[in-house]
Amino acid sequence: MVGADGLHSRVRALTFGAQERFERYLGIVVAVFDVAGYRPRGELTAVMHADVGFQMLRVSLRDDVTMFCATVRDDGGAPPECPAEQQALLRRRLATAGWETPAILDAMASARTFYFDRASQIRMPSWTRGRVALVGDAAACPSLLAGQGSALAMVETYVLAAEPARANGDHARAFARYEACLGPLLRSKQDAARGLGVAFAPRTRLALAARNTVMRLLGLPHVPDLVMGRSFRDAVELPALPAA
Ligand SMILES: Cc1cc2nc3c(=O)[nH]c(=O)nc-3n(C[C@H](O)[C@H](O)[C@H](O)COP(=O)(O)OP(=O)(O)OC[C@H]3O[C@@H](n4cnc5c(N)ncnc54)[C@H](O)[C@@H]3O)c2cc1C
């Protein structure tokens, strides 16, 4: 059985134990919501604004809809479960925030959709037990800070699909190879992502200044490839899928 049920995996909880054992909260909450008719608006444009403790992303979608993504530092206890309390937390944390933030928080009340969660990683010594295996965020969520969770989930799924045939149906051998093939890569992605909180919600003025300088440099030709190119190219040897 494969658990592919995300960061808050029930399969993980039922097979390996409570989420708290494996979840590493990164001190940032994320909210994503979309609003019709928000102004200002730039067609096909994404605008980012960051200040100490948060970043707000505004993305213009089609049909006069605007999507917002707020990443907000919150070192407090467990974030609230219900949308009303989650929105109240955002209003508290962003009460003195400048730029368009007050207007965005007003618009949030009439959001068409609203997503809220902790930015967390899932760190497990092993993602398989008996005949159960986990993939994707259920197994080794790197958090949204990594920006690669979907790609990694697909690679994990590919390897998990290929290994049983190579092991002649011996699931224990296949699971061992699955973990050996991807364990180091996933752990390195998780380690790297932990350092990226500064970009999504800088803690101090100094961190904010460093973030803004890096962001400006990334607008120059060739700089993104030089700085980040290597982190998006991974030399992973994938097993061949069996012939259909
Ligand atoms: C705001 C944000 C931005 C992100 N940006 C990026 C990005 O730019 N690039 C990138 O690569 N990754 C990004 N990620 C991470 C990416 O979304 C995840 O890593 C990826 O979706 C993980 O895929 P998954 O299939 O493992 O889990 P999920 O996409 O979470 O899918 C799990 C599925 O299981 C279902 N499910 C859960 N419980 C049950 C149940 N009991 N019964 C039945 N179904 C169930 C859920 O409904 C869901 O459809 C971002 C994440 C967030 C939160």
Rounded Cα distance between 215 and 80, Å, is 32
197 and 79 share one domain: no
CA 6 to ligand 1 center in whole angstroms: 5
Assessment of whether the complete model's pTM goes beyond 0.85? yes
Joined tokens for residue 97: 């925030």
Rounded Cα distance between 94 and 98, Å, is 9
Q: Does position 87 have pLDDT exceeding 90, yes or no?
A: yes
Ligand 1 within 6 A of 94 CB? no
Better pLDDT: 75 or 37: 37
Q: Does position 182 have pLDDT exceeding 70, yes or no?
A: yes
Number of domains in the chain: 2
The model's confidence at residue 240, banded by pLDDT at 50, 70 and 90, is: confident
> Which structural domain range is residue 33 located in?
25-120
236 touches 182 (CB < 8 A): yes
Per cent of the chain over pLDDT 90 is: 83
* 228 lies in some domain: no
State the pLDDT at residue 122.
98
Ligand 1 within 6 A of 144 CB? yes
**CATH number, position 69:** 3.30.9.100
Q: What is the pLDDT of residues 157-167, one digit of tens each?
A: 999 999 998 99
The model's confidence at residue 109, banded by pLDDT at 50, 70 and 90, is: very high
The average pLDDT across 221-241 equals 83
Q: Residue 108 belongs to what H/E stretch?
A: helix 101-108
Q: Does position 244 have pLDDT exceeding 70, yes or no?
A: no
Nearest CA to ligand 1 atom 4: 144
139 and 202 share one domain: yes
The average pLDDT across 71-82 equals 89
**CATH number, position 174:** 3.50.50.60
* 244 lies in some domain: no
DSSP state of 82: S
* 42 lies in some domain: yes
DSSP class per residue in 171-195? HHHHHHHHHHHHHHHHHHHHHHHHT
* 102 lies in some domain: yes
Q: What is the mean pLDDT of the chain?
A: 94
7 touches 120 (CB < 8 A): yes
Q: Does position 230 have pLDDT exceeding 90, yes or no?
A: no
SS3 (DSSP) at 4? coil
* 242 lies in some domain: no
